[in-house]
Amino acid sequence: MTPQPQPFRLAVPDAAIADLKARLALTRLPDQAPGEAWAFGTDVGYLQGLLHHWQHGFDWRAEEARLNAFPQFTVPLHGIDLHYLHVPGVGPDPTPLLLMHGWPGSVFEFLDIIPRLTDPARFGGDPADAFTVVAPSLPGYGLSFRPGQPRFSIEAVADCLAHLMTGVLGYPRFGAQGGDWGGFTASRLGVAHPEKLLGIHLNLLSLKPDQPPPANPTPEEARYAEDVAIWLKEETGYQWIQGTRPQTLAFGLSDSPAGLAAWIVEKFRAWSDCDGDVEAAHPRDRLLANIALYWFTGCIGASFWPYYARAHGSWPIPEGRTVDVPMGYAAFPKEIRRPPRSIAEQTYTDIRRWTPMAKGGHFAAMEQPEALAGEIAAFFRSLREATP
């Protein structure tokens, strides 16, 4: 029997909001390490201001209403209640598009870009470019989490979302788009379920950071190898702890909203195109909406699981395999890793579009929704035109 979706509307209890504010009032901050602000992690002074706003100025109900303005559903699938937005396109023949976030993101990343994808004419675009968007909370994240439920690797996430698109929603073929784990999932879909895909569009590529460089690298390939070496040394501590001791870390971040905010906001600052001012790229209330969703759902421990699965299993693209479905890539200048096309072509054999972007970083749908929506439309437009 096909699982039956049920309409969903988010309504956090008043008691949970009151509990959060009480915990924020009791925050005990560490001292600030000597030296440059942010050099050793989240700056104490910045976090103090963010927490004050979270307690006294932030309007969760307004952010909740932004999410509830979109049609949402849950469906029992692969042992969990999977949450997703399902927004019909406004156009003559909307293409079904699976839109996927990563860590430490959520479906709140997509609230500005979804209307641009589903109703391009509203923004001066061509209605023929419309998509019907399916944007799930990844299994284990946000509203796709309940205590005690199964944990998901990226391979399992891909299988679950393929089942959602084809077996539940009835789209025999669809496009997939993502960054972070969403990009990994789209790439995994290209390996495990290629017959279901029109193509995939990425803003983060699923490339092993430790893969050996070419024997005679070009200057661009050599620079990439140097960048990856710095990344592995300075920026991957979170991966090691989330990938080896996720349960231990989850105690602190599930009990302390200050700890949770510090852990997440540091990544938004480090990975965004913001020149060190995180709120230049992400308004304060948008940051807190995403953090608060992690808090209210209690999902932070489960959200670490793809890191644990990757650290203790195989790469989502098996050794010796390639992604052979049509692929498009938006190369944002402040993405955490920026490989040259020649490196990407070792994994992705059918690159149809490769676009250097003028501005933006890891959270592209939040930072540059207009530019990313335009790239997604252009990539899938070429596939539509090529379809008889």
pLDDT digits (tens, 9 = 90+) for 91-134: 999 999 999 999 999 999 999 999 999 999 999 999 999 999 99
Judged against a pLDDT cut of 60, whether residue 187 lies above it is answered with: yes
Residue found under tokens 């990757």: 310
Predicted pLDDT at 288: 98
Question: Six-digit token pair at 334?
Answer: 């402040």
Predicted pLDDT at 212: 80
Per the annotation, the verdict on 180 as an active-site residue is yes
Predicted pLDDT at 136: 98
Q: Which strands sit side by side in the sheet containing 197-202, from one edge to the other?
A: 6-8, 72-77, 80-87, 131-136, 95-100, 174-178, 197-202, 327-331, 351-356
Question: Six-digit token pair at 229?
Answer: 């070496």
Q: Could you write out the DSSP letters of every residue in 278-345?
A: HHHHS-HHHHHHHHHHHHHHT-HHHHTHHHHHHHTS--SS-TT--B-S-EEEEE-TB-S----HHHHT
Per the annotation, the verdict on 273 as an active-site residue is no
pLDDT digits (tens, 9 = 90+) for 283-307: 999 999 999 999 999 999 999 999 9
Predicted pLDDT at 303: 98
With bands split at pLDDT 50, 70 and 90, how would you rate the model's confidence at 39? very high
Predicted pLDDT at 200: 98
Question: What is the number of other CB atoms lying within 10 angstroms of the CB of residue 8?
Answer: 17
Residue 1 covered by a domain:
no
Residue 18 covered by a domain:
yes
pLDDT > 70: percent of the chain: 99
Residue 330 covered by a domain:
yes
Domain coverage including residue 91: 6-386
Element (H, E) at 256: none
Predicted pLDDT at 214: 84
Read off φ and ψ for residue 328, nearest 5 degrees.
-125, 150
Predicted pLDDT at 387: 58
Q: Which of 43, 112, 119, 180 is catalytic?
A: 180
Mean predicted lDDT score pLDDT of the chain: 96
Residue 360 amino acid letter = G
Question: Six-digit token pair at 351?
Answer: 């690159």
Predicted pLDDT at 215: 86
Predicted pLDDT at 114: 98
Residue 199 covered by a domain:
yes
Is this model's pTM higher than 0.85 or not?
yes
pLDDT digits (tens, 9 = 90+) for 6-33: 999 999 999 999 999 999 999 999 999 9
CATH number at residue 35: 3.40.50.1820
| Cα angle for residues 74, 158, 345 (degrees, 5° grid) | 145
Q: Which of 101, 193, 282, 362 is catalytic?
A: 362
Q: Which of 19, 53, 308, 350 is catalytic?
A: 308
Residue 333 covered by a domain:
yes
Predicted pLDDT at 190: 98
Residue 77 in contact with residue 168, Cβ under 8 Å? yes
Predicted pLDDT at 96: 98
Per the annotation, the verdict on 141 as an active-site residue is no
Predicted pLDDT at 386: 67
User: What is the domain count for the chain?
Assistant: 1
Judged against a pLDDT cut of 60, whether residue 388 lies above it is answered with: no
Predicted pLDDT at 210: 79
Residue 108 covered by a domain:
yes
SS3 of residue 323 by DSSP = strand
